[in-house]
Structure 1
Amino acid sequence: MKEYNEAVKLSDDINGMISERSSFPAFGPETQRHASAIRRKITIFGTRLDSLQSLLSKNPGK
C-alpha cells in the first residue's frame, strides 16, 4: 500500500504542476524548467507504476 500511496501523491503533484503551467509565460527559462520538472515526475511515476504492476503480478491473490 505504501507504493500505491506514493504513486497517488506523485500523480496529484503532476496534475497540480500541469494546472500551474497556465500561469507561466508561453516561452522562457522558467517555463522550460517547469516543463522539465513535470517530465521528470512523469518518468518517476512511470517507474512507480511498473513497480506496482510487478508487485501485483507476484501476488495475484491479494
Structure 2
Amino acid sequence: MALSADSWMKEYNEALKLADDINGMISERSSFPALGADAQRYASAIRRKITILRTRLDSIQSLLLKLPGKLPMYPSSSPS
C-alpha cells in the first residue's frame, strides 16, 4: 500500500474532532458536582479520550515520518 499525504490528513482530521470533543467535555464538566460517582465517571471518560488522542497523535507522527522525501519533524531541533 502506498503511503500518501491523505493517510495522515485523515488521521489528523479524526484527531482534531476528538480534541474538540475532549474540550467540550472539559467545559461541560463544570456543570457536574466536584465529587461523586457521576463526576468520577465523567472524568474517567475524559481521560480515556485523552489516551485515545495520544495514540492517534503517535500514529500521525509515525505516518509523517514515513512520507517519502520528508525530513523528520522535531520541535526542539532546528535545521543547520
Q: Same fold (TM over 0.5)?
A: yes
Supply the AA of the counterpart residue of 1:11.
Answer: A
Matched, 1:32 2:40: yes
Q: Unpaired runs of 5+ in structure 2? A: 1-8, 71-80
Count of aligned residue pairs for this structure pair: 62
**Within-5 A mapping of 1:12-31:** 12-31=20-39
Q: Percent identity?
A: 81
Of the two, which has the highest radius of gyration? Answer: 2
Runs of 4+, deviation exceeding 2 Å: none
Question: Who is 1:3 aligned against?
Answer: 11
Q: 1:54 aligns with which of 44, 55, 62?
A: 62
Ranges in structure 1 where 5+ consecutive residues have no aligned partner: none
With the length of structure 2 as denominator, give the TM-score of the two structures: 0.74
Matched, 1:42 2:39: no
What is the RMSD of the two structures over their aligned residues, measured on CA atoms? 1.2
Taking structure 1 as the reference length, the TM-score comes to 0.94
